Structure 1
Amino acid sequence: MYVSEWENGKRAISDRYAAILRQLLGVTDAELRGVHAVVAPPVANGYDELLSRIDSASSVSESLVQSFNDQTELLRTMDRQMGAAGLVDQMTGHLAALEDALNFAVLPSARRPVALALAGASTLAAWQAIDAGAVERAWRHYELAKRAARDAEAPMYLAHAMGEQAYVLCEAGRPSLGLDLVRDAQRTLGKAGSPRLWAWLYATEAELCAHTGMPDDCRRALDAAAASIPSGPEDRDPDMLSIFLNGGHFARWRGNVLGLLGDGDAVTSLYGALEMADPTFVRAQAGLHADLAQAHLARAEYDDANTHLRKARLLASRTGSVRQRRRVDLLSARL
């Protein structure tokens, strides 16, 4: 009964139920209630308050910035293991604190480290929003990440935000525009950037080429990605902490891209990735099983496809991933 009254505007959502629904649905309070933030009226002693906040921002220490980064890392770990839906309140508060610190930091020496922390946190928040199906929120977070990266004079963070933002365009049905954005990210990076970030950008380009129906460009980008990945089991980029990519991760990505092309080698690559998969990347495993289902469907191996779809659906439900559930539903319709 409450749901019907909420939907029809006959009853306001109480704070108690709002807290529960935000975690269930992975939405912010404003998205849930359909309201915009109210700007506080000006006060007589506004300059005193402004100077107080400027003084506080100018004294942001390295230890406080590290605390911000540690919080981002904790949220990243929780996200990949449990999903994004239950983290919306924590992520919203975290971004608000970082934005507040940046808004009142005056000199570059104070702004850059906070802006860098905000860029990293914003891309994480954006990816979580994509996973929750909140695409407009994701877009706004990517725009925030790009502004913060420019403020921090951090081309790697800017290129990464642009590359991830391309996925929003792809899933909105504009893969060619997303491909243009990825290639612009590569031009933005120029000769800078770590090998692992370049591998990530090339693999992203390959995936967008596959969606755009450009198989030759796709394979060239896959080869460039494979040539750029550092050897060894390490998957974390020390210069770009948002990037997790090694040979095992790339095997899964390559299999996904080859599956989009209908290439028979996709299955071999994906099963190799499944053997090496990190069990803490729960949502990534959901995507891997969906990739295998897609590859088996391309070969008309419907029983195998159905097996992997069941596993993908279970893992997507476990993490509350709207994005992965949508993909499972689309693949299921082809059985």
Structure 2
Amino acid sequence: MRFFVKRAPRAGVTVASASALSVMLSRWENGHVDVTDLGYRQLFREFYGRTNEELGFPADVENDGIEELRDRLLVARSIDHSTLELFQSQINNLRNSDQHFGAIEILDQLNNLVRQIESVRTFSVSAMHRERLAAILTDARTLAGWTALDRGSQLQAWQYHEDAKVSAREADSPYLLAHATAQQAVILLDIGEPAAAVELLEHARYVAENRAPSLLRTWLAAAHGEGLAAAGRHDESLQAFDQAHALMPSDPIDPQMPFLLLNDGHLSRWRGNALLRLGNQDAINSLEAAARELDSSPRAAVRGQLSMYVDLAFAYAAAGDTRGAVDYARKARQLATRIGSDRQRQRLSTLVLPDFGRTGIA
């Protein structure tokens, strides 16, 4: 109710009073009344980070027939270079918002944007436009999949990445395909399937080999290192991170790949996460070094900082330092609540402190 009342004015949605909402929510939750108002559906999607289908809302009814087909073909024909750039700009703006504020309010916007681009591409007959639309769609789908994962919807995240791989192939882009494949492997790590994740990551590196810029190959090597660490392959994991450091370009910013945010601080954080998974005592040193760099960096993504705080909480707990674990867990919990990261709240709920047991932080 608090979310609805606070968020509604910014979303352009009119909601009932708090007392009326209490009655309405009770009737919705008990299945006595369907949620038919589109504004309320939007707020539910944002709050839970789920789609209409996942929430059990009826699918939107669309007209069909010859006139509908002609209308959609006409819309697709109206697409020009400026429209394509507008789509990409919208994705970049949402990515920037995600990096600074998290996924709590952008996932529903991404879902709608993906559907819009999918519709245009489906009815476009221009080969040149379809290829460019497929590349833009891949970018949108991987971003939507990543934010869905952060909101705790592994199934939605998986489907977005599967769709992203399809559109990457239509875009004839090995580097987009490699990125979507490697990012999908993180979902497997989250659900406890490290061997399958490593297999995907190896395939991603094969796809990108000699066909992708060094920045992407750096990112893929580090992602591979994380997967190998989760699988308990200590030496191979550290070798992958050594390869990542060797591949890192002097300028780690590539306008052609705005989805990659990577520098020495991010690599240190990633390596620290791998060392933590491996039970290596150097994890704290690597993560603290990353914290010093990323906390003062204007390019640090808020989700990366959150992941680092959670890793540090676990690292200090593993080292028997209750105070350090509690301090970082508190910082992580506050940040996770602010950006709506269900994924990291889930991790925090499993933190066990020396002498105190499960913290219950969620």
Q: What is the CA–CA distance in structure 2 between the aligned matches of 1:53 and 1:185, rounded to whole Å? A: 35
Given the alignment, which residue of 154, 165, 174 partners 2:193? 174
CA contact (8 A) 1:119 1:145 kept: yes
The worse-fitting range, judged by mean Cα deviation, of 18-27 and 209-218 is 18-27
Given the alignment, which residue of 234, 259, 268 partners 2:285? 268
Runs of 4+ that moved beyond 6 A: none
Q: What is the CA–CA distance in structure 2 between the aligned matches of 1:53 and 1:9, rounded to whole Å? A: 36
Q: What is the CA–CA distance in structure 2 between the aligned matches of 1:162 and 1:19, rounded to whole Å? A: 30
The equivalent of 1:12 in structure 2 is 34
CA contact (8 A) 2:142 2:180 kept: yes
The equivalent of 1:131 in structure 2 is 150
Secondary structure of the 1:75 match is helix
CA contact (8 A) 1:123 1:142 kept: yes
Quote the offset at 1:71 in angstroms: 0.3
Quote the offset at 1:305 in angstroms: 0.9
1:169 is matched by which residue type in structure 2? Answer: L
Secondary structure of the 1:300 match is coil
Work out whether 1:90 is the aligned partner of 2:113. Answer: no
The equivalent of 1:245 in structure 2 is 262
Secondary structure of the 1:86 match is coil
Work out whether 1:316 is the aligned partner of 2:333. Answer: no
Q: What is the CA–CA distance in structure 1 between the aligned matches of 2:341 and 2:155, rounded to whole Å? A: 17
In structure 2, list runs of 5 or more residues that go unmatched.
1-22
Quote the offset at 1:120 in angstroms: 0.5
Q: What is the CA–CA distance in structure 2 between the aligned matches of 1:294 and 1:307, rounded to whole Å? A: 11
Name the Cα RMSD after superposition: 1.9
In structure 1, list runs of 5 or more residues that go unmatched.
none
Work out whether 1:223 is the aligned partner of 2:245. Answer: no
The worse-fitting range, judged by mean Cα deviation, of 19-28 and 164-173 is 19-28
Work out whether 1:118 is the aligned partner of 2:137. Answer: yes
Q: What is the CA–CA distance in structure 1 between the aligned matches of 2:108 and 2:346, rounded to whole Å? A: 24
Q: What is the CA–CA distance in structure 2 between the aligned matches of 1:283 and 1:42, rounded to whole Å? A: 42
Q: What is the CA–CA distance in structure 1 between the aligned matches of 2:49 and 2:72, rounded to whole Å? A: 31
2:327 is matched by which residue type in structure 1? Answer: T
CA contact (8 A) 2:209 2:217 kept: no
Q: What is the CA–CA distance in structure 2 between the aligned matches of 1:238 and 1:267, rounded to whole Å? A: 33
1:12 is matched by which residue type in structure 2? Answer: D
Secondary structure of the 2:259 match is strand
The equivalent of 2:48 in structure 1 is 25
Q: What is the CA–CA distance in structure 2 between the aligned matches of 1:334 and 1:204, rounded to whole Å? A: 29
Quote the offset at 1:41 in angstroms: 5.6
- Residues paired across the two proteins, number: 329
CA contact (8 A) 2:52 2:58 kept: no
TM-score, length basis structure 2: 0.85
CA contact (8 A) 1:230 1:246 kept: no
Quote the offset at 1:323 in angstroms: 0.4
Given the alignment, which residue of 179, 183, 186 partners 1:160? 179
CA contact (8 A) 1:28 1:88 kept: no
Q: What is the CA–CA distance in structure 1 between the aligned matches of 2:42 and 2:117, rounded to whole Å? A: 22
The worse-fitting range, judged by mean Cα deviation, of 123-132 and 168-177 is 168-177
